[in-house]
Amino acid sequence: IRAWIEDVVTDEAARGQGVGTALTLEALRLAREAGVRTVDLTSRPARVAAGRLYEGLGFERRDSRVYRFTIGAQ
Residues 22-39 pLDDT 10s: 999 999 999 999 999 999
User: Phi-psi bin for 72: left (phi > 0), alpha (psi -120 to 50), beta?
Assistant: left
pLDDT at 74 exceeding the cut of 70 = no
Q: Is the pLDDT of residue 73 over 70?
A: no
The pTM is what? 0.82
Contact partners, residue 4, CB within 8 Å, separation at least 6: 39, 40, 41
